[in-house]
Amino acid sequence: MATKIEPLMTITDLEAMPDDGNRYEVIEGELFVSCAPGLTHQRISGNIAFVIRSYLEDHPIGLVFATPGLILTELSGVIPDIVFFRHEQSEKIVSGERLTGAPDIVVEILSPGAENIRRDRIAKRQLYARHGVAEYWMVDSEKSVLEVYRLQSGSLELVATWQNEDEVSSPFLPGFTCVASKIFTK
């Protein structure tokens, strides 16, 4: 019995997708389509970008971006919710209007639906680990929980779970702290 092999999607195919309000990403040649993020998702994303930008005003060590294009290979291009990278990483990972290498921190806010959760929890986590993302923040808006994964022996492993009044910190943002509840504030 022969198995049918679907053609792999490439970054070139991804760039040809319609501008129809959907979010198109390709991970190892597999196309993932999701709707534009809802208001809760965008509020949390804005809160995270704000607290990191506020920190960077006093500690200008790098840059933070919301929804940048991140192209890791010809078969993998994604749109993380937030990325942070140190200035010394810029020359290695910035190419034109896209990032083409691993940022120090990638933040994904889980979207509702089993397929979206599988994409962020499994496919993207594995992709980011393979390409050397040092820290991955996964935000569960329904539970108001922030999970932090750090690269250890080629895998992104859970190192912290923050919620309520827990203090969020990162070795990639020296001196940065934020109360977890501030990320989920309305």
The domain ranges of the chain are 38-184
Residues 6+ apart with CB under 8 A from 149: 125, 135, 136, 137, 138, 156, 157, 158, 159
Give the CATH number of domain 38-184: 3.90.1570.10
**Of residues 117, 19, 115, 133, the one with CA closest to residue 76:** 133
Collapsing DSSP to helix, strand or coil, 107 comes out as strand
Q: Tens place of pLDDT for every residue, the chain, 186 residues? A: 555 557 799 999 988 988 888 889 999 999 988 888 889 999 999 999 999 999 999 999 999 999 999 999 999 999 999 999 999 999 999 998 899 999 999 999 998 888 888 899 999 999 999 999 999 999 999 999 999 999 999 999 999 999 999 999 999 999 999 999 999 988
pTM summary value: 0.92
The confidence score (pLDDT) of residue 21 equals 83
Residue 10 and residue 145 in contact, taking contact as beta carbons nearer than 8 Å: no
Give 180's Cβ-side CA count (13 Å radius). 20
Q: In whole angstroms, what is the distance from residue 80 CA to residue 135 CA? A: 13
The confidence score (pLDDT) of residue 7 equals 77
Tokens standing for residue 48: 């995270």
The confidence score (pLDDT) of residue 3 equals 59
The confidence score (pLDDT) of residue 36 equals 81
Tokens standing for residue 129: 């680990």
CA 41 to each of CA 86, 107, 170, 186: distance values in angstroms, whole numbers, following the listed order: 25, 12, 22, 11
Q: In whole angstroms, what is the distance from residue 147 CA to residue 8 CA? A: 31
The confidence score (pLDDT) of residue 5 equals 59
The confidence score (pLDDT) of residue 48 equals 97
The confidence score (pLDDT) of residue 111 equals 85
The confidence score (pLDDT) of residue 78 equals 96
Residue 84 and residue 62 in contact, taking contact as beta carbons nearer than 8 Å: yes
The confidence score (pLDDT) of residue 1 equals 53
Q: In whole angstroms, what is the distance from residue 109 CA to residue 79 CA? A: 11
